[in-house]
Chain A
Amino acid sequence: MEDGPSVIQQGFLCPFCMTDLGSYIALANHVESAHPEDADTPAFEQIRGFIDKAKRSFKRFEPGIDIENLREKVGNIATSASAGNILQSESLQRSVEPLRKTRSKSREREVKPTKVKPIEIIHVRPEIGVKRSHTDYFLRCREASVNDIAVRTNTLIIRMDKLINEAPQEHSKRKDFERFVVPWSEDSESSACPGCNQKFSLTRRRHHCRLCGKVLCEKCSRFLSFLTARKLTNPALAAAMTEEKQNASTQKAEVRSLDKLADLAQRTGGHLRGLIGGSKSNDGSEVSISTLLRQDAAEHLRVCVPCLTLLERREQQMEARNPPAMVSLYERLVGLLSEMSKLTPSYSRMALSINNGEAIYTLQAAEELRRRIAERQREVDVLSKTIENEGGEGLPFREQQLRKNIRFVSVQTLHNFISNMPNLPSSEKYAELAEEHRNKVAKQVEEARLQAQRAVSNIKIPSVPIVETKPSSSFMGRVVEDGWTPDFSPITNPFAEEEDRQHPLQEQRGILRGYLSQAAAVGRLEEVEILERNLRDLEAEMRQLGLNFD
């Protein structure tokens, strides 16, 4: 519409091939002869139809236009041929506009915009409103400022590395070495501590941050233990230490971890080894790492608050890379729940069909699926309980609440699933049901046959009303749809004689049922639906041919 031809054609145009026919009669003849699909409707009816089509596209940009009037007018034009215009859709509205203006006032009022026929748009699905993303802008702004911080932190860490690893043993030389690594600012430059704004005096002495060299007072000084410092300068050691800490907390920590740590120290840090050698030169024992750590804990660097903040942040970032055990438990839990949200509806479907006595699924398959679901239910229960109780009372309040809520949702979801699972009949009961169903179907088939004899009509196979069991949980949303194909394993007897072979339809039915039970067992609802439909069609066909099912 919007990008239609720029040249507006006028005249007696055929709506189908756009040729100018010159007169109304010629046009009518042309339409009747050249476009005879609806040969028994008069030509102008077709034109109306065309205009109807055009008007539908109008509504997109001119919804207020009074369609009824338009149609009437255009109809007039077409029949009387007085105006002599069959219009192409985009010229239609423009040409009708002046016509409309000549109409009486009363008519005009009817065309008032507020008079609308909104029924057609009532059942619009609610759609989400306008959204605007600032993420790109945000990231751009962040990049600039974050780079700056990263550079500053890295400088500090490089300095720190030097300070703790290359420091001379003698205490007297230590200070000079520190001043050599980080130039200290002159005492005269600052008369007050930048941290607390208090003037320096005899009692409030000047100190220096070992990392940035700025002056600060005793009260504003923070102390960074060598242990933390080492962690920051040697990420591999840090990882090992966190692991050790975790092991210790689960009370599995043995000498093993200490050994490992020492070993690691050997392998990674040239500096570290040097230090070990320095401190315990004559011993030669490799397990001296624990001593080293203990010694580190006692030593520390004087730093200022801004430097410490930067370093702490880095430390936290490093720790964040090691998620607690609960996260993996939770992942497993969610996996189980989403699996169940697929399997349960599938099972309900099976059970419903079996309770109806149909032979689409076997009772064993349903029982098997039920067992599998029950297994998962138990696992969910155990897992969520573990999550709830793992940390015990010692956890912070929110963490406890989080775990409780996870347990709550799991239990609720389980509850939902269980209550949506119909029972299966016992095998004797199922035999009864199946018999009943067979009789019923036979009766229906008989009736249908009788009916068909009386009149040509479609045989309707009564389909089982299937209750849509909606998966109640949003865990469905997490399922990544992947492809699925059933294994092809035809149940054929290689020793069967040619004449014993099943009818192809019977064979087909066997295969379909095999697929169906496979699909149901893995909870592929969509496939199940399609396969069930196919199976029904097939069985209807077989019934018509008078084939028995087994």
Chain B
Amino acid sequence: MNILATARLYIGEMVTQAGPQMKVLLMDKETTGIVSCAFAQSEMMHKEVYLFERIDNAAPRENIKHLKCIVFVRPTAENIQLLCRELRSPKYAQYYIFFSNIANKSDIKLLAEADEEETVREVHEFFIDAVPLSKHLLSIGLHHPYDASLRLSTTAFLHAKQTIISLLLAFKKAPTVCYQKSNGDCEKLADEVTQVMRREEALFRTCKEDTLLLVIDRSEDCATPLLNQWTYEAMVHELLGLQNNRVTLDGQSLVLSELQDEFYEKNVNANFGEIGQSIKQLMEQFQSKAQIHKNVESIADMKSFVEEYPQFKKMSGTVSKHVSIVGELSRLVAANNLLEVSELEQSIVVDGDHTTCLDRVRNHLVNKQTTVLNATRLVLLYALRFEQHQNNDIDGVVALLRSKEPAAASLVRVLLRFGGASRRKNDLFGSQSAVEMTKRFIKGLKGVENVYTQHTPYLTQIIESIARGRFNENVYPKHTASQYSARVDNIIVFVIGGATYAELAQVRAANERRNQAGGPSVLLATTHMLNAQSFIDQLREMGGTTR
């Protein structure tokens, strides 16, 4: 299941259907994200799509009657209205309309009635309704999906449902639907997805049943988004912030795409030390190539140099980009004392020795070098981990934090209400199951390979348990109307309330394992991508406190 490839196929098909001639692509906010992640702009231009427009752009667009227009929008009421207006006074010669999801018949009729000049040639539903950030990651890009009652807001719920439906149709899957029993949203989402599958029987007729869809809520694992990460992609998002695979550095927007950047593709999951190594290699390669440049003496030399030019330019582009990103990352690591903070985070969630942890958290809180964000995440992790410890001193650390973060108390309260022990029914820190305890014991004997990456997201356990057929059906029951499929060859996990790049790294690893040793293919879909900052902001929002 490669959602990026599927998205590219869908968009390519749109262009093919519109045929030759100069074209313009008319999109909405969401589909712009989809197209920009699936194709580079120049790639689209090579397909004769020369202009890109937003349908919700208030400024009037000028008429260019010799253009064909590919419309790719979500079938929302707002878009239908805008599209009707567009068709009443068409700016382009022909329109090829593609909806990213199931459209209402009545809306199609509205459009038909608006198309008085008969400019529309095709109307289709192509099911790609959220942003394919990577081969195995689909994100709606919907920040702050919860309301104050810690439930999904109505719009967020609808959007999540539509995304799941389109995702299933994009992969032609009619899955077994499982959900996290302890969460009402998950159950409702599973329920409504199953209903749509039944209602749209015609669409799902060709779909395979070799897939398991699991709907879980972020509250299952609040630890992962609070941790510092050390793999390249996750680090970039944690420290610099990724937005649809773009990062802003020194006011410059850089694209980090596995599709177009070979170096990035290779190192996306590499940890910080390894990236430095790879960059060094890349620079050496680059310098040895650049050496040629210096030795250019004759015209023949210059010519052969120019022949190598596109590679050369491309290579120097990626080198400089990654050098500046990694440079900035290492500056931040040093400035924010991240190695120490991260080590403490890991010992809180993995070792869980209360006394030492408490001491060290206190030390960090009074240390001036500790940033507000890091102080907050340490306190939140401490509260989450030792919520049920008899001697915990949550009030004490919150009091210490208050000088840096006025909303400290509220944040801790919301966190525990949202993802505390009473709400989550799982064994997040592996303290209850004998198996997990033994695992940790053995790990302790063997010594730890890397103190900063001991923790693995809870999602990994879930995926492994499904793959091994040891899926806990009491915690994650299947929806009553859905059948267990004969074999589970694909797992789609939808995480309500945001996923992290650390989790994506695990999903990537699972898919790589599949290539070597077999096992199900995994796809992660979510409402949005989290880092510690956005997760804390989300908690703040749920608590109703503004900054």
Binding site for B on A (CB under 8 A): 62-64, 112-119, 121-122, 126-135, 137-142, 145-146, 149, 313, 316-317, 319-320, 323-324, 326-327, 330, 334, 396-399, 401-402, 405-406, 408-409, 412-413, 415-416, 419, 422-423, 472-475, 477-478
State how many angstroms separate the Cβ of B482 from the closest Cβ of chain A: 14
Given A114-B466, A396-B62, A408-B45, A131 and B487 contact (CB-CB distance below 8 Å): no
B51, A113: Cβ atoms closer than 8 Å = no
Q: List 30 A-B contacts (CB under 8 A).
A: A112-B469, A114-B488, A115-B469, A118-B514, A126-B2, A129-B170, A130-B170, A130-B203, A133-B123, A137-B105, A138-B111, A138-B115, A141-B108, A141-B112, A142-B112, A142-B115, A145-B116, A146-B118, A326-B66, A327-B66, A396-B62, A398-B61, A402-B67, A406-B22, A409-B45, A412-B46, A413-B46, A423-B303, A477-B16, A478-B20
A122: which B residues are within 8 A, CB to CB?
514-515, 518
A112, closest chain B residue (CB): B469
Cross-chain contact of B62 among A316, A398, A415 (Cβ < 8 A): A398
Interface contact B66-A334, CB-CB below 8 Å? no
Query: How many chain B residues have a CB neighbour from A under 8 Å?
Result: 77
Complex CA distance for A474 and B20, rounded to whole angstroms: 10
A405-B50 CB under 8 A given contacts A112-B469, A423-B303: yes
With both beta carbons as reference points, the residue of chain A lying nearest to B209 in the complex is identified as A63
Q: How far is the CB of A238 from chain B (nearest CB, A)?
A: 16
User: In the complex the two chains form, what is the Cα distance from A423 to B304 in whole Å?
Assistant: 9
B113 within 8 A of partner (CB) = yes
Chain A: CB-nearest residue to B520: A118
Task: Specify the chain A residue showing the minimal Cβ separation from B169.
Answer: A130
Task: Let me know if B5 and A126 touch, CB within 8 A.
Answer: yes
Q: Within the assembled complex, what's the spacing in Å between the Cα atoms of A477 and B45? A: 14
User: Given contacts A63-B487, A141-B109, A406-B50, is CB(A131)–CB(B13) below 8 Å?
Assistant: yes
Contact A129 B6 (CB under 8 A): yes
Residues from chain B with a CB closer than 8 A to the CB of A126 are: 2, 5-6, 9
Is the CB–CB distance between A113 and B113 below 8 Å? no
Ranked nearest first, the 8 interchain pairs of A and B with the lowest CB-CB distance are A141-B112, A114-B469, A126-B5, A129-B170, A64-B486, A142-B112, A130-B169, A128-B9
Q: Which residues, 192 to 216 on B, are CB-close (under 8 Å) to A?
A: 203, 206-207, 210
Known: A113-B484, A406-B50. A138 touches B120 (CB 8 A): yes
Assess whether B489 is interfacial by the CB under 8 Å rule.
yes
The residues of B that contact A317 with a CB separation of less than 8 Å are 117
| Chain A residues with CB under 8 A of B51 | 398, 401-402, 405
Question: Does B264 reach chain A (CB closer than 8 Å)?
Answer: no
Chain B residues whose CB sits within 8 angstroms of the CB of A114 once the complex forms: 466-469, 471, 487-488, 520
B103 at the interface (CB under 8 A from A): yes
Q: Once the chains bind, are A473 and B46 in contact (CB under 8 Å)?
A: yes
The closest CB in chain A to the CB of B91 belongs to A398
Minimum Cβ distance to chain B for residue A275 (Å): 31
Is B309's CB within 8 Å of the partner chain A?
yes
Q: Are A128 and B489 in contact (CB under 8 A)?
A: no
Residue of A at shortest CB range from B304? A423
Asked if B171 lies at the interface with its beta carbon under 8 angstroms from chain A, I say: yes
Are the C-beta atoms of B9 and A134 separated by less than 8 Å? no
B127-A130 in contact (CB<8A): yes
B residues less than 8 Å from A323 (CB atoms) = 65-66
Q: Is B146 an interface residue (CB 8 A)?
A: no
Instruction: Please name 6 further chain A to chain B contacts, defined as beta carbons within 8 Å, in addition to the given A118-B520, A422-B307, sorted by A numbering.
Output: A122-B514, A127-B9, A129-B9, A137-B112, A409-B46, A416-B310
Is B393 engaged at the interface, CB distance under 8 Å to the other chain? no
Q: Do A405 and B45 have beta carbons less than 8 Å apart?
A: yes
Contact (Cβ within 8 A) B487 A64: yes
